[in-house]
């Protein structure tokens, strides 16, 4: 387990904590049922929520039949929006006086391997981390030359001091406090990079945890290349937005100090 150290830690009580799995999904009718069933088997999980992000197939119906609570976007709004919708629905259910559920985000195409995300829960449950990120094994058929991963890794390192192994991993568990501190989430495929930078910059603790997860990887064909181009664009936008915010904060502090000195 690889850790990004920080001054902040969670005080979650392990004996009372529940976990909600949030699965953003679009056109995943072939795999979503297996993903939902496997997610329900993860210890401490008492709610599996699928956010159907404008699917054109039967994703919502298959997910509901498999035991998930389903919320549907009428049109595709992107992963970040689906994550925020899912977290909001979980929050509406956290009104019984018990601690807010931890949030475990999983991809809809993990199938039966989704149960292997269980190790992500423990470090957050025990208060050793506020955010845990899955380290996946090599995926069959994966293409790419690591350009997007390299951009995300270097950006996170330069802005927080932590060098993650898999900065784009979307399988993540975090506390409600950490999720709210990371909102609004970065647009599109920049959501993971933006979340990591935001949370580490605010003093939260992140860890990377090996998980034997299998999902549909982007290949080397035209579709895969277009996907990676979109990833690169969104990661760059997320990073630049945070750099600009940092510059603005620095200017604001300097201005306030100048006024006090004058």
pLDDT tens-digit readout, 192-222: 999 999 999 999 999 999 999 998 766 566 6
**pLDDT of 242 higher than 50:** yes
**pLDDT higher than threshold 60 for residue 191:** yes
List, in order, residues 6 or more apart from 39 with CB less than 8 Å away.
21, 23, 45, 48, 104, 106, 114, 115, 117
For residue 158, pLDDT over 50 is answered with: yes
What average pLDDT score do residues 151-177 get?
A: 97
pLDDT at site 95: 85
Q: Coil, strand, or helix at residue 135?
A: strand
Q: Distance between CA atoms of 232 and 234, rounded to whole angstroms?
A: 6
Q: Where are the domains of the chain?
A: 2-254
User: Is the domain 2-254 a CATH 3.10.450.50 member?
Assistant: no
**Does residue 252 register a pLDDT over 60?**
no
What's 141's DSSP letter?
Answer: T
For residue 246, what is the enclosing H or E element?
Answer: helix 222-261
pTM over 0.85: yes
Q: What are the pLDDT digits (tens) for 8-50? A: 554 444 457 899 999 999 999 999 999 999 999 999 999 999 9
pLDDT in tens, 67-106: 999 999 999 999 999 999 999 999 999 988 889 999 999 9
Q: What φ, ψ does residue 42 adopt, rounded to 5°? A: -70, 130
Q: What is the pLDDT of residues 47-64, one digit of tens each?
A: 999 999 999 999 999 999
Average pLDDT over residues 228-241: 93
In three-state secondary structure terms, 218 is coil
Distance between CA atoms of residues 184 and 191, nearest Å: 10
pLDDT at 144 over 90: no
């Amino acid at each position: 387990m690889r850790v990004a150290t920080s001054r902040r830690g969670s005080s979650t009580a392990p004996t009372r904590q529940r976990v909600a799995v949030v699965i953003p999904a679009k056109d995943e009718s072939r795999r979503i049922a297996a993903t939902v069933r496997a997610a329900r088997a993860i210890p401490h999980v008492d709610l599996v929520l699928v956010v159907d992000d404008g699917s054109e197939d039967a994703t919502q119906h298959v997910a509901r039949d498999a035991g998930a609570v389903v919320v549907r976007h009428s049109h595709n709004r992107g992963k970040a929006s689906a994550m925020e919708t899912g977290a909001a629905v979980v929050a509406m259910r956290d009104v019984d006086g018990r601690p807010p559920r931890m949030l475990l985000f999983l991809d809809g195409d993990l199938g039966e391997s989704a149960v292997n995300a269980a190790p992500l829960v423990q470090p957050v449950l025990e208060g050793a981390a506020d955010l845990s990120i899955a380290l996946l094994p090599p995926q069959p058929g994966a293409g790419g030359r690591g350009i997007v991963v390299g951009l995300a890794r270097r950006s996170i390192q330069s802005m927080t001091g932590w060098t993650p192994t898999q900065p784009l991993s979307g399988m993540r568990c975090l506390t409600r406090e950490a999720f709210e501190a990371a909102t609004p989430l970065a647009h599109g495929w920049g959501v993971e990079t933006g979340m990591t930078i935001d949370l580490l910059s605010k003093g939260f603790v992140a860890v990377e945890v090996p998980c034997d997860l299998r999902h549909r990887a982007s290949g080397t064909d035209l579709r895969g290349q277009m996907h990676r181009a979109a990833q690169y664009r969104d990661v760059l936008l997320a990073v630049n937005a945070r750099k600009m915010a940092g510059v603005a904060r620095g200017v604001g502090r300097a201005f306030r100090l100048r006024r006090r000195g004058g």
